[in-house]
Amino acid sequence: MAGLMKILFIASEVTPFSKTGGLGDVAGALPTALAGLGHDVKIVTPRYQDVRNTGQLLPTGQSLVLRFPFGETGGPILSARLSERLEVLFLENEAFYGGRKGLYGDAGGEFADNPRRFAYLCVGALQAAQRLRFFPDIIHLHDWQTGLVPVALRRGFQGTPLARAKCVFTIHNLAYQGQFPKRTMEDLGLPWDLFTPEGVEFYDHVNFLKAGLVYSEALTTVSPTYAREIQTPEQGYGLDGLLRRRSHALTGIINGIDAHEWNPRTDSFLPARYGPEDMTGKAVCKRALLEHFGLPTEGNAPVFGIVSRLAWQKGVDLLLETLPAALQGDLKFVAVGNGDPTLEEGLRALQARHPKQVGVHIGFDPALSHLVEAGSDFFLMPSRYEPCGLNQMYSLRYGTVPIVRATGGLVDTVEGGLDGNGILFEAFHRSALLAAIRRALSLYADPARLGDFQVRGMGKDFSWTASARKYEALFQSLVEE
């Protein structure tokens, strides 16, 4: 039995309060699992203007005032206690997190003051822990927004009880690095001796992600395959050399999913619930999905779905190139997503050309995302790269066969082959994707075989328990060092 630890978890989004993608899901579910193992966990995150579930937020009576060269800034610390051993601390800061739509940017692009906003999160989280006298064994960091934490810890908190904490940095996406002009060093008061290729400098810029990767005691990423891929020049985004040097400190731990939120037997977003022993509820969901998109419900065409950030990573451009040929056949396609305006436009145009076969919702809609997972027959993820991916696991649980490109966490979670639970394709190319869609159509034409695929997928255990134990073992090894 592992010793119980105090864990400070810092993340820029946390479900159910804020979310733009899988990071939010992980930052909501993993701390819950760790607290469930008996550890004392506090999450620190910004209190964005459009944070949800505000009814749960209570004052702590504490507030922060931080001094940076750019000026003095601060605000209260709010709290939501989720269970006996799990508390979320929200840093309020009117100038940085108030009065804006979006977490990282809006229609005008990334917010120009992101370096200040997330430097505030990094230093503020440490200050908040100090104020509340929470002295962690482990500080668990996530993506570039938290990259300055180990730097602040080493340079600003030496000789305090916080300094004994070990930092674990989890890479959810190596492509987003938080790179800012050199003058950011001065603006934030970062010591110039860190501005070297061994430190936070990256091609004459400050790189927040790199700071996290250089100065944390241990590194993880969200699947074993991605842990290998990011050590290659093709997928390393300029940081593969550093990651190869630190490979002894880097492990891949696959994400779990929130098995309560994503359960077709209990899902309250669905018009009907179901399990592998009786799939009639899934047919009801399919009909509701088609009706939602105003698509004809007669006939028995298979429905292919996507729910995605519309970003280069996700291969939606490849899908847009491939679907016109696929739509010659008898199938339907529904998409829920937002992001890149060109891809949004591409989806709208596809819908306009095939109004009886294609349904598109541009926007972020969690309720509809559940209906797509349940009501589709196949779920498409033609990603260029995918650190882990959560939707393919949701699909498997919902008896929706995933069609995924063989990359990153998709390889580690979807089983191809005749006795598998999904369909994988290798080349990032139209013909490979089209061939995968054709394999799906022949699977659909054979209900018994399709049923076997569904049952195998629905039986997989993707709950957080196993992965949380891996984090626990890693944390424990650092504490014992």
Contact residues for ligand GLC, defined by CB under 6 A: 21-23, 26, 172-173, 222, 255, 386-390, 409
- Our finding on whether 365 is near ligand ADP (CB under 6 A) is yes
Residue 19, marked binder:
yes
- Our finding on whether 22 is near ligand ADP (CB under 6 A) is yes
DSSP E strand boundaries for 285-409: 303-310, 332-339, 358-362, 378-381, 401-405
Decide which of ligand GLC, ligand ADP, none touches 305; Cβ closer than 5 to 8 Å per partner kind.
none
- Could you say which DSSP state residue 427 is in? S
Spatial contact of 379 and 395, defined as CB atoms under 8 Å apart: yes
Decide which of ligand GLC, ligand ADP, none touches 308; Cβ closer than 5 to 8 Å per partner kind.
ligand ADP
- The binder of ligand ADP chosen from 121, 188, 209, 307 (CB under 6 A): 307
- Our finding on whether 308 is near ligand ADP (CB under 6 A) is yes
Residue whose C-alpha is closest to residue 479's, from 137, 4, 8: 137
What three-state secondary structure class fits 418?
coil
- Our finding on whether 366 is near ligand ADP (CB under 6 A) is yes
Write the Ramachandran bin of 276: left for phi over 0, alpha for psi from -120 to 50, otherwise beta.
alpha
Piece of 59-67, 84-92, 288-296, 336-344 that binds ligand ADP (CB under 6 A) = 336-344
- Our finding on whether 237 is near ligand ADP (CB under 6 A) is no
Q: Is 195 exposed, middle or buried (0-12, 13-18, 19+ CB in 10 A)?
A: middle
x-or-dash string of contact with ligand ADP, 370-399, rule CB under 6 A:
------------------xxxx--------
Shortest distance in whole angstroms from residue 370 CB to ligand GLC? 17
Quote the CA–CA distance of 440 and 40 in Å, as a whole number.
Answer: 46
* Comparison of 79 and 421: residue with beta carbon closer to ligand ADP: 421
Quote the CA–CA distance of 331 and 357 in Å, as a whole number.
Answer: 7
Pair of tokens at residue 119: 């430097």
- Could you say which DSSP state residue 278 is in? B
Decide which of ligand ADP, ligand GLC, none touches 338; Cβ closer than 5 to 8 Å per partner kind.
ligand ADP
Spatial contact of 162 and 129, defined as CB atoms under 8 Å apart: yes
Piece of 78-86, 94-102, 132-140, 330-338 that binds ligand ADP (CB under 6 A) = 330-338
Task: Give the dihedral sign, CA 468/469/473/474.
Answer: negative
Instruction: Mark the binding-site residues, compressed into ranges.
Output: 19
Q: From the annotation, which residues make up the binding site for ADP-alpha-D-glucose?
A: 19
Binding site for ligand ADP (CB under 6 A): 21-23, 25, 307-309, 336-338, 364-366, 369, 388-391
